[in-house]
Amino acid sequence: MKPRSLTSLSIVFPCYNEALNVGQMIEQAVQVGEEYGVDYEVVVVDDGSRDESARIAGDAARANPRVRLIRHERNKGYGAAVRTALAGATKDLVFLTDGDNQFRLTEIEKLFTKIDGVDVVVGWRINRRDKGYRRLNGFLWTRLVRALFGLRVRDIDCAFKLFRRRHLEGLPLESDQLLIHAEILARLKKKGCRIEEIGVNHYPRVAGKSSAVGLNRILKTFGELSRLYRSIK
């Protein structure tokens, strides 16, 4: 069912060394846009990949004017890539996901069932299909962020989110690292945005390798968390 709010749609995602996934992700995104028959765009942000990700996305962009590639010449971090993706969106609704192919984009339909009554719809991962330590880290991180910012969201970092673009405009996002999802939601909550959530299926990574975990990234993320808390509180 097509919601009243779906007048136009940006499907955006970052990728870093996702050559084995980015082509399929673009195909899924185009299929979703065509299925709903609205003005749409697919925005891919390559965060300085060292593999063929940028070439594959660039080929797709040249073949389809609805696909757009934005490149970071060097790796700036996951949060920086997400910020670039959101800033590059031009349509009324903005759907944010990841480039690792661990979701099925057809499940955007679930988000559409909620968007008419709220400003943001966020997914939470049903039976998260990641390694045990990542699930534990995610659980503890979500508890911490919920406590600090009063967010009533069960899966902060789930990369399956739908926004009304007008609420993203002018949002002072600063995170370059893994804090970005928490920062987006905390700042939108502070603006008074209504946030709803719904469960979406999550699938194992079958190609490529996650670059999200690393001591340096974790330390930078906690530094960003401290600054965000001081900024918002």
In a domain, 210, yes or no: yes
Torsion over CA of 25, 27, 28 and 29, rounded to 10 degrees? 80
pLDDT tens string for the chain (233 positions)? 789 999 999 999 999 999 999 999 999 999 999 999 999 999 999 999 999 999 999 999 999 999 999 999 999 999 999 999 999 999 999 999 999 999 999 999 999 999 999 999 999 999 886 666 666 776 788 888 889 999 999 999 999 999 999 999 999 999 999 999 999 999 999 999 999 999 999 998 888 666 655 667 777 888 888 898 898 87
Q: What are the Cα distances from residue 185, in Å, to 21, 50, 190?
A: 27, 31, 9
2 in a structural domain: no
Domain region containing 28 = 8-232
CB 97, CB 201: distance < 8 Å: no
Within 13 Å and on the Cβ side, how many CA atoms surround 120? 26
The sign of the torsion formed by the CA atoms of 55, 61, 62, 63 equals: positive
Are the beta carbons of 181 and 157 closer than 8 angstroms? Answer: yes
- DSSP track, 65-106: TTEEEEEESS---HHHHHHHHHHH--SSEEEEE-SS--S-GG
pLDDT at site 137? 73
85 class by beta-carbon count within 10 Å (0-12 exposed, 13-18 middle, 19+ buried): buried
pLDDT of residue 220: 81
| 58 neighbors 25 (Cβ within 8 angstroms) | no
3-state SS, residue 121: strand
Alpha-carbon Rg for the chain in angstroms:
16
In a domain, 3, yes or no: no
- Which token pair is 42? 């697919």
30, part of any domain = yes
Bridging pattern class, strands 93-97 and 8-15: parallel
Q: Look at residue 1 and tell me if it is in a domain.
A: no
Pull the structure tokens for residue 156: 């902060």
Q: Kindly state whether residue 137 falls inside one of the protein's structural domains.
A: yes
Q: Per the domain annotation, does 92 fall within a domain?
A: yes
How many domains, in total, are found in the chain?
1
Q: Can you give the CATH number for the domain in which 46 is found?
A: 3.90.550.10
204 is a domain residue: yes
What's the pTM value of the predicted model, to 2 decimals?
Answer: 0.93
